[in-house]
Each structure stands twice: as C-alpha cells, then as structure tokens.
Amino acid sequence: MTITSLSWLEIDAAALRQNIEAIRANLSPGCLMVPVVKANAYGHGYLEIGKLLDKQGFPFLAVHNLEEAILLREGGIENDILIMGYIPLADLRAAVAAGFDLVVYNLESLKKLVAVATAKQPARCHLKLETGTQRQGITEERLPEFLKEFQESSQLMLRGVSSHFANIEDTTDHSYAQLQMERFGRMKDQVIASGFAVPYYHIASSAASLLFPETHFHLARVGIALYGLWPSKETYLSYRLAGKENQILKPVLTWKSLLGQIKDVRRGEYVGYGTTYRATADMKLGVVPIGYFDGYDRLLSNRGYCLVNGRRAPIRGRICMNLFMIDVTDIPDVRLENTVVLIGESGDEIIRAEDLAEWANTINYEIVTRIGAHLKRIVTNP
C-alpha cells in the first residue's frame, strides 16, 4: 500500500554531481576526493547517497563506524570504505574480514589487529596523528611505538597516515591550521624516515579542500561541501577573499511537509505548549504535522520560518514532538495539504540550512545530520 508521507526529503542528484565536479576542480593534481557519508550521509540518506557515489572513481567512501560500513555494504555499495571512528576491539576481526580500511590510533587496537589479521588478509590501517585537535590521534612522542608494530607485523598494512584540523572552519585566521600542518609534516617525515612508503596521506576536510592546496596530499575527506553547504561563513569569506569563484556549491537537499490543518484563531488566543505566543490580531494558523522527533529543532519555536506558496510563514508557539504551527494569514489561496518547505526554495523565496542553524543557534552540519532518518528520501534528477 502506498501512503502519503507527512514529511519527505528531495535529494537532487544533479546538484550532488555539480558539487563533486566543483570540489574536484579545486583539488591539486594527485589528490583524490573521499566523500564522507557518515551520519546518514549528513542526513541525506546512506543508501540514496551511497548509490549515487558508488564506483564513481572514489578511492573510499568514509564513515564513522563499523555499523555504517556494514549498512552500506549490505545495501549493495561495492566501493572501498574507510572507517574513521572507533571500532571496539571485539569487532576488529569482522572489520578486517570485510576488507574495510580502518583509522587506528590506539596501541591496543593495533595489537588486537595483529592477532586477528593474517599476512594473507592484513589489516588495512590508516594511522591518525595528533596535530592539535586532541580528539583521536597519536602524539609525536608515541609514533615510533606504532611504527614498530608495522615493521614487525606482516598482518598490518600501513595504507594511510591522517590527521584532522581543529580550527579551519571557524576563523579567517589560519595560523592554527598552519601549526597543525607543521606537526603533520614533521610526523610524516618520521614515517618516511622509518622506511614506509605510504600510499595515502590525508588531512583535508571540506574547508581545507576548498582553501588550501598545501593540505591536499593524496586524499581529501569531503563532507559538508559535497552536500552543497559551506562549512561556515568564514570559509566562504576566505574563499572569496582568495579571489575564487562564487556559487560553486549547490544544496542537495530540500525538506518538505504539508499543511495538516488550517484554522482561524481569534486575537488574544494562545498558541501551543507553554502559551508562548499570543495572537495580536485575528489570524489564520497552519498546522504542520512534524516536530522535533523528525529533527525539526525545538529552538526554532517562535523564531523560524517555513515557505508556503512562495511566501514566508513564521513559526508561532513551540515546536511540539510531532507538530508545529505557522502563521499563514498572509499566504494567498492557502489550502489544506499545501506543501510546506522547511529547507529549500518556493517561488522566489529560499530557506537554507544555514538559516535554520542561525535561528536554532547551531551550525548547518547539525541541522542536516539530525533530520530524522525515518523520513523518506526521494532522489530527483538521477
């Protein structure tokens, strides 16, 4: 039985292709793009995006955990996969057997990999170096211990050496990124001096891919830009200040719902939980049948807007678990089941993930990754 969804996402495959082309055009020769598809492909859908990217010349698709890697594989994705986050010791055998590339930064993990891998099916490892994020990573002092394991164990294959920038998106001052690059360079020299010919050095994410050719090395792990979103205003500004071209990225995702009720509300009546909005005049209210359960942030209460028939409709009252209300008084010819655009275009109007982020006091990354995984994703322009 086909039923009508209360809310759905449209995933524009043509925009995705355009972004890939634009990002690739920014990368230095010899640097390959690794699409980051963790966190439900930044909310766009693991398999919807995975299928569009599979076997398109990407050395890896990057995910956070083993579950995501298995989900992609079981969903028919054949591309090599790089797991960037922690893999519990008990699961390392399965990760090796599946042939995934693994980012490693614990000696315990490495020793376990020696035990569960074989010379015939070695563990495909990418060392993660600590250059200043203090998140995952091996310090300069401890790097020799890790390299020794690789020298002594045919069960381990050193496929990559990586790191991650801490302060590249949030600022136009890139001195901290430069410091991280210096540390990365020193540790890279250490790896080379220990006799390793590593095929993949990688440190760049979206911002570095767009701004700094010197960070490109062999791979660029690109997440947010792939989906047509800028990592931050500062990244966009730095890009423009470098004299580069505007408008290279196109948002891939549109998020929609519909009007589930239209009602007349009298002046002086309160709207929603907590009676946080009071009608200052007689008004027409539209009820949208999704809420914070679906990833529509409660901080948008009384702050955000949606689009109906090409016009902005302000949110009135609090976002509920499965519903919220908007003012449709000034929307001409408004009808039950009119489309409500939460992110995207309608007529001449547009609401971006960045707008929601500003209203909800967060970043575009959080807005898109938290869109409910249960909502249907429809691929357009395949």
- Minimum distance from CB of 308 to ligand PLP (Å)? 31
Instruction: Identify the residue among 159, 164, 183, 377 touching ligand PLP (CB under 6 A).
Output: 164
Q: Is 174 in the site for ligand PLP (CB under 6 A)?
A: no
Q: Is 138 in the site for ligand PLP (CB under 6 A)?
A: no
Residue in 38, 112, 128, 256 annotated catalytic:
38
Instruction: Identify the residue among 59, 132, 223, 304 touching ligand PLP (CB under 6 A).
Output: 223
Q: Is there a catalytic annotation at residue 148?
A: no
Instruction: Identify the residue among 83, 198, 222, 248 touching ligand PLP (CB under 6 A).
Output: 222
For ligand PLP, the binding residues in 34-63 under the rule CB under 6 A are 36
d(CA 191, CA 337) in angstroms, rounded, equals: 61
In the complex with ligand PLP, the residue whose CB is nearer, 50 or 272, is 50
343 contacts 377 by C-beta, under 8 angstroms: no
Residue in 111, 263, 273, 376 annotated catalytic:
273
For ligand PLP, the binding residues in 1-40 under the rule CB under 6 A are 36
Q: Is there a catalytic annotation at residue 273?
A: yes
Please count the CA atoms within 13 angstroms of the CA of 14 that sit on its side-chain side.
2
- Minimum distance from CB of 93 to ligand PLP (Å)? 24
- Minimum distance from CB of 71 to ligand PLP (Å)? 18
Stretch binding ligand PLP (CB under 6 A), from 68-76, 219-227, 251-259, 272-280: 219-227
In the complex with ligand PLP, the residue whose CB is nearer, 198 or 326, is 198
Instruction: Identify the residue among 35, 231, 295, 317 touching ligand PLP (CB under 6 A).
Output: 231
- Minimum distance from CB of 56 to ligand PLP (Å)? 18
Tell me the two tokens of residue 55.
Answer: 């076997």
Q: Which residue is nearest to ligand PLP (CB)?
A: 223
- Minimum distance from CB of 98 to ligand PLP (Å)? 20
d(CA 159, CA 178) in angstroms, rounded, equals: 25
Q: Is 216 in the site for ligand PLP (CB under 6 A)?
A: no
- Minimum distance from CB of 282 to ligand PLP (Å)? 46
d(CA 187, CA 164) in angstroms, rounded, equals: 14
In the complex with ligand PLP, the residue whose CB is nearer, 143 or 224, is 224
**Bridge partners, 267 (sequence order):** none
Q: Is 84 in the site for ligand PLP (CB under 6 A)?
A: yes
For ligand PLP, the binding residues in 196-215 under the rule CB under 6 A are 205-206
In the complex with ligand PLP, the residue whose CB is nearer, 223 or 317, is 223
Q: Is 221 in the site for ligand PLP (CB under 6 A)?
A: yes
Stretch binding ligand PLP (CB under 6 A), from 6-14, 184-192, 223-231, 369-377: 223-231
175-193 vs 143-152: helix axis angle to the nearest 10?
Answer: 40
Residue 118: phi and psi, rounded to 5, are: -130, 165
- Residues designated as active site: 38, 273
Footprint of ligand PLP (CB under 6 A): 36, 84, 164, 205-206, 221-225, 231
